[in-house]
């Protein structure tokens, strides 16, 4: 799923859970938490620019696209970090960050073709693909941005 | 149907040049995918409705436990997609809850890694069931 959709979904869900005022006050943490995990794609994009363009046209993705932040051990470390932080900083902020990060992971797991979630421990490819492999995925990716923007505008 | 899906997954692995992964191309059928998708979707519904629409969140929690039970019966808790979906769901659900649940989710992540890597018989805490029981006792 594209990064803009992640940010919009994160903001919409946070508005419903924590209330629109808290979501508006914490708009930067929400956007950062829901998009920062995609930083690990950049290394793959830089190294494999041609396959990336080809994949964008066909709708296929490779599991190598998802780097270290999309793996279970990183998520475990992040969860432990959030647990420690919850003792020291505002728990609402910790909850907002934690929820948005894992919402991002959940949406990626639902929509992306393949991913190596357990990679250092298991080489198996995991897959859910609720929108299938090719066209529906691209269509959902394109449509999601205006639809989510409209929903946020209505809210 | 299962054979067809396996074949199409194999062909897709070749098409996107996943030569390394060709041998391990997805063997998962429709059931683990459906159960994993249902788990994540109900987890998100639970998290979104838990503060404003309590009745809806309870229903989502019950559906999650039904999906877990179906996974336990059909997949015998070995499917990695379902294992990962379960951990993500727990993280989404309990990230809006206070401290103790964070710790339990982290423990479950550790147990899952142990289960996947070497120790196949490592038990994983059924957090969703524990939470359902906790909610029932709280309501009573």
pLDDT of A78 higher than 60:
yes
Question: What is the tens place of the pLDDT at every residue in B29-68?
Answer: 778 888 899 999 999 999 999 888 889 999 999 999 999 9
Residues 95-134 of A with CB under 8 A from B: 95, 98-99, 101-103, 105-106, 109-110, 113-114, 117-118, 121-130, 133
- Residue B92 near chain A (CB below 8 Å): yes
For residue B14, the Cα-to-chain-centroid distance in whole angstroms is 28
pTM comes to 0.83
Which residues does chain B have with pLDDT short of 70? 1-28, 77, 99
- Within 8 A of B47 by CB-CB distance, chain A residues are 13, 17, 99, 103
Question: What is the tens place of the pLDDT at every residue in A42-55?
Answer: 887 787 777 777 76
Residues 18-77 of B with CB under 8 A from A: 18, 21, 24-26, 28, 33, 36-37, 40-41, 43-44, 47-48, 50-52
**Alpha helices by DSSP H, chain A:** 3-18, 20-25, 27-35, 39-47, 49-58, 72-85, 91-111, 135-154
pLDDT of residue A21: 92
pLDDT of residue B12: 54
pLDDT of residue B8: 56
Element (H, E) at B56: helix B54-74
pLDDT of A145 higher than 50:
yes
Name the DSSP letter for residue B105.
Answer: H
For residue A87, the Cα-to-chain-centroid distance in whole angstroms is 26
pLDDT of residue A14: 93
Spans of all domains in chain A: 3-154
A32 vs A124 pLDDT, higher one: A32
Spans of all domains in chain B: 31-139
Average pLDDT over residues A99-124: 86
On whether ipTM exceeds 0.90, the answer is no
Tokens of B117: 């890597």
- Cβ–Cβ below 8 Å for A73 and B113: yes
């Amino acid at each position: 799923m594209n990064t803009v959709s992640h940010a919009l979904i994160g903001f919409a869900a946070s508005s419903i859970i924590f209330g629109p005022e808290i979501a508006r006050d914490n708009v930067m943490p929400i956007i950062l938490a829901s998009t920062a995990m995609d930083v690990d794609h950049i290394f793959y994009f830089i190294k494999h620019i041609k396959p990336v363009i080809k994949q964008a046209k066909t709708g296929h993705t490779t599991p190598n696209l998802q780097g270290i932040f999309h793996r279970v051990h990183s998520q475990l470390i992040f969860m432990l970090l959030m647990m420690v932080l919850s003792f020291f900083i505002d728990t609402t902020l910790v909850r907002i960050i934690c929820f948005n990060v894992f919402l991002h992971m959940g949406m990626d797991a639902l929509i992306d073709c393949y991913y190596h979630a357990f990679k250092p421990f298991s080489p198996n490819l995991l897959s859910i693909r609720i929108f299938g492999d090719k066209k529906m995925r691209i269509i959902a990716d394109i449509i999601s941005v205006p639809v989510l923007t409209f929903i946020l505008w209505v809210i | 149907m299962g054979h067809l899906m396996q074949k199409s997954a194999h062909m897709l692995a070749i098409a996107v040049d996943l030569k390394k992964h060709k041998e391990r191309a997805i063997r998962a059928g429709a059931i683990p995918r459906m159960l994993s998708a249902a788990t994540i979707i109900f987890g998100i519904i639970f998290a979104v409705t838990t503060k404003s629409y309590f009745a809806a969140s309870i229903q989502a929690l019950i559906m999650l436990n039904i999906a877990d039970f179906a996974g336990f019966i059909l997949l015998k808790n070995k499917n990695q997609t379902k294992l990962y979906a379960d951990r993500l769901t727990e993280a989404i659900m309990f990230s809006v809850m206070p401290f103790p649940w964070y710790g339990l989710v982290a423990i479950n992540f550790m147990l899952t890694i142990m289960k996947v890597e070497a120790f196949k018989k490592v038990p994983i805490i059924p957090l969703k069931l524990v939470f359902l029981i906790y909610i029932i006792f709280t309501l009573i």
